[in-house]
Amino acid sequence: MGYLLTGGMVYQNGRIRRADLVVNHGRIEYIGEMIPENMLEKNPERLDMSGCVIAPGFVDLHVHLRTPGFEYKENTRSGTLAAAAGGYVTVCAMPNLNPVPDNLENLRVELDLIEKNACITVLPYGAITEGERGEKLSDLDALAPYVVGFSDDGRGVQDENMMSRAMRRVKKLNKFIAAHCEDERLLDKKWAAHDGILTKKFNLIGNVSESEWRQVKRDLKLVEQTGCQYHVCHVSTKESVNFIREAKRRGLPVTCETGPHYLVLCDEELQDDGKFKMNPPIRTKQDQEALIAGLSDGTIDCIATDHAPHSIEEKSRGLKGSLNGIIGMETAFPVLYTRLVKPGIVSLERILNALCIRPREIAGLSGGNLNPGDCADLTVLNLDYYYNINPEKFYSLGRSTPFDGWRVDAAVMMTIYHGEIVYRREKA
């Protein structure tokens, strides 16, 4: 089916400009200000994009679809529908599953579910170590052709020698490591939040910033030794930002991400509620400001949601007893636009680059330029659409978000995947 997307703006080559698009047979056939007459004749549906920005479809490098093994939290269908509602056309699924995709047989279970149930592209990660236990390398060679990269997300690889061996092998396989950086020696297993204002207020055990940045520092040393492409997951501390900025200055093959919640919240705003419990935790105002600065100057490459659904019961035990993880795909752009772009803190172009351009480059994906011939993976954004976030309306099975009830000023109106509309929001 073909579409004419008329009357809107487009984000292309780093800037936003006025243009119309023609989509035919799953690809962009034309982009420009004057659609040729012969194209007008063969496209059956005209879509009015007035007041909207059309961007390349978003890519999330860090989500948890919980399938196989934890379908009561999320499944491939619900998770990818949630992704489409958030403007995402590709998500990269973390491997803390059952079975863990640490060999080809286990990975095939996940791949079969993706093929049967996903409504957008899902690229799985393979585990760095067997069972994500940090004791023995996974079958990296067998997994490599089928995974976007390797991660033990949910746990940092504690043994330095093990991480060095993994980096050397992954380098030869031309893949990247997405590292959850956490030095468990510095943490009490019963930690509840960042070691700061909130833990003192509620007499809770804290998570110290050093538990993240010390392992970032260790791994950057290993990157220098091995040359492995290395991606730091969910950066939350000012020290991590500084170490990564310096590593990039020295030309190391390093990229990183942070989450929307780390950019728009600090621990002064949190409550003793499971919807504020995630790993790493939301940290101080100074950390938040360093993350925003890192995003603005390019130190932080992309924004990833770390979408991590749990059951209502698992998130009902406050900061002390709730499991780590919040949902994020259906709220990411509206929250980022409302809290960062509209007040003039970060440009819209920078946010879009972090949502749809840099993640593609890191994952080695083509497209993203909105050029004729490119696959028609598009996200349509209305920057003048006001509503209150209501988790009960989410496609995700998860409901726990710190943005519950927030008033936002923008919305994802439509997601087009391979030329087909997979999500459309009703106009206000």
Question: DSSP of 22-90, one letter per residue?
Answer: EEETTEEEEEESS--HHHHHH--EEEE-TTEEEEEPEEEEEE---TTT-TTT--HHHHHHHHHHTTEEE
In angstroms, the CA 62 to CA 82 distance is 14
Q: Closest Cα to residue 93, out of 72, 118, 116?
A: 118
Angle between helices 285-296 and 238-249 (to 10 degrees): 30
* 159 belongs to the catalytic site: no
Q: Which residues pair with 150 in a beta bridge?
A: 126, 177
Long-range contacts of the stretch 200-209 (C-beta < 8 A, 24+): 202/272, 202/319, 204/272, 204/319, 204/320, 207/279, 207/280, 207/281, 209/236, 209/237, 209/238, 209/239, 209/283, 209/287
Residue of 60, 152, 306, 377 with catalytic role: 306
In angstroms, the CA 295 to CA 289 distance is 10
Residues in Cβ contact with 93 at an 8 Å cutoff, skipping those fewer than 6 apart: 63, 64, 65, 110, 114, 122, 123, 124, 125
Instruction: State the CB neighbour count (10 A cutoff) for residue 251.
Output: 8
Q: Which amino acid is at 355?
A: L
Catalytic residues: 306
